[in-house]
Structure 1
Amino acid sequence: MREVNVVDSLYPAPQNAVTYEIRASTDVLALTAAGVPKSVSISASLYKSDGQNVGLCADFNAFLYVYDAAGNLLKSEQLNEANTITTNISNMNNIFRIIFRWLSGTEEVVSKEIPTVKDGNAGAAGSAGPLIYPAGIFSIAKSYTRTSMTAPYVAHNSLYYYLAKTGTFTGINPADDYAANGVNATWRPYDNFQAAFFEIVMAEFARLGKAVFFNDYMMSQYGVTPSGADTNEYQNFAAGTFIPNILLNFLTGAGHLSAGNFSWDQYGRTYRKSKEIIVWRSIADEFGTLETEHNVNLKKGTYFDFGSWTKAIINLPDPALHQGLELELRGPIATTRIPRDWPTFRSNGFAMMGWSTTTSDYVTCSRVISYITGNARANITSQKVNNVWTWVADSNFIIIS
């Protein structure tokens, strides 16, 4: 019979000593609350060490035993002269332990027990906490109410407190209350991390990135003085000596951009201190010069220029999706030769009308072309005609089909 020497671990081992070790796919088998294994299978391998080299060993017979909590054998397997043994346990319930053994004849070489751990049963679902909402700076004369659904938090002496008890409370100073009652207080403070967040929505001149909040306003952190000098002293906004680059009044809807060079009031009227500059879309650059069809994305702009000759055919989108939108077209400078390459605007299956020189009226069409030059402009507008949204080309366009 082969002599066997087994120790607890492969390392350290005396030189030339032979030791064996079982390495399992898991040291603890996890089960669901119903006792079903979370793993599909489990395996173990036998390793041999001679003090210098470690490797898989198939010199002995491998055995596997699966038991329940009462000690009943649920499953067993045997492989002769095997270094690894694997079994499927996915459909087995109430496994309590698994034992791997390697035997030389009837003598055990080494064994390993795999215990199990079962999930607990799910507890009752906890109730949802209330929605915490900002209630401003604490006032001793104000009543504060917490319900199962909502709870206020307030700013007081540079700290933030939330109402910890259900009910309506008046005249309780948060700082004094917490100092006297601790975790049983009506008002309890937030920790520093939470307070740093609430400062964004509570404090005057609180900052979020480069945005600053003050009363009804949100403004940029940078701006100019009344004389136009760059500044970031946004604390002077109320005094009128800081003009932010961007300003939004969330109460009235008014605001401005570019340090007030472009502004709008609560009625939507706009004001600007600089001339408008139109950025024209070059048809030739965007769609090429060949007589090929192209769908146009009007979100990229509605000013079209064909200073360069092009035969591009521009398919217009559904006018109902761009109600009231006006497209403007400008042509090349005046020329002594008659140009022949002009862009075409096509209805692409949607409703379209153009000016008829024959009937002196607008008629249904599918394609129009304009031969304007110089400073002339041509327009196509999405209008409602007979209750149908329609592209209407003005008299500077000629119907070609």
Structure 2
Amino acid sequence: MATSYAAYSVYYYESDPPYAGHGMAGRILDAGASFVVAYPGLQSGLNGDPKVEGFTDAGNALRLAVTDYVTGSAQPVYIYDPVTPANLATPTWTNVQNLYTLVRLGNYLYALDFDNARIVEINPASTPTGYAATGVTFTLPGSLVPTTPSGLTAHGQALAVIGGKLYGLFTFTDSAWANYGKSLLVRFDVTGGSSISIDSSNGNFAENAFSLADKGSEVYVAAIGGAQGSSGTPNANSRVQKISIAGALNTASVTDVLTQSDFAYEYRDISFDAGGNAYVLMGTYNSSWNLVGQLLKIANLATPGTHAVIDTFSTTPGYFWSAQYTADNNRIWFARGNAIRVYDASSFTTPAATLTLSVNGPGNLGGLLGSGDLYDNINDLTYIGATGTRASLRGYRSPLQVSNTPRAHAARALTRGRPELTEDELEQLDD
């Protein structure tokens, strides 16, 4: 098993100086055995809303982008070599105010701005540009914003590279974040260094779509179904849906896969392993704003009643929830409120590791904080990739935010379900 890295950001609500407003980002090393080690303090001085995104650069080296969010203002993006670790560049992408996804297609990176439903092209070379924006951008046109209900604004939720094509997931809500329109999936035509335009799109997905994942020639979308509330009653429209991407999106049907008749929760995240098993995170907030739900492994989504329960939760504090499978190490990374549980996908009776907002032992084994840190909320999590040989790369990372790297999406398109790349396929992937 190749050594792999994940990165996390945490923040806290401490109001007294000197800690107020100082977030941080760190790394997690998965050494492939039954342990995971946390290395905090990679980037400090962030505000209360930090973001992390893993990617590969023009030379196919693992990289990590760390930034934070200030409404209406683009912030510096710290680019790291996560293995060394070393800060390589600190660009500011002026057209990216709220970074939600960063993926690579060909020789360029594509950043998604949630606030403005905008895609911005980035040169991934560390020199001479220093990861600068190229000037190529795309903003979702108003003609694609639903008219029902009225007064909706577009937001960019996720990007993914599937079969050599860039796909974007967009959501639409009013200014009060109370009413949502149907969600939109877009396939783009991209000419690196020149243009981004729409190939085809489909706006028939459920409201407030949270994540997407691909399996074969289909894309699956998990949607909350509307505004998140704390009544303990899930949105009736929450569902997992799929669409064929073999042809034009606008003529393809959006099909329900999981609905409230299958599980009485809201669907929040989905990913797949090479064998086609689905990992589905579902849950609904109760009156105490604790998420009540389950993380399931479902071998056949057509018969979801037959499944394995990986984790259950009901009284866990914290608002950041994500669960994604990473094939480099056959793990399930579960951001569980204010802790991160790492499961072996082949055996998940107990977690392989549980990382908490604590200082715990040499190298912070089991703890995400350094000495003196007072953070109390996890804000983001991204899977970066495996170090060492890439000959057996089988993984991917997602929309918000653990498992949708373009490299592994491309790898899955090449292998078409086989667990590993051949040397010829590896060369093709790198090209």
Whether TM exceeds 0.5 here: the answer is: no
**Structure with the greater relative contact order (CA < 8 A, sep ≥ 6): 1 or 2?**
2
**Which protein shows a greater Rg?**
1
Higher helix share: 1
Where is the strand percentage greater, Structure 1 or Structure 2?
2
TM-score relative to the length of structure 2: 0.16
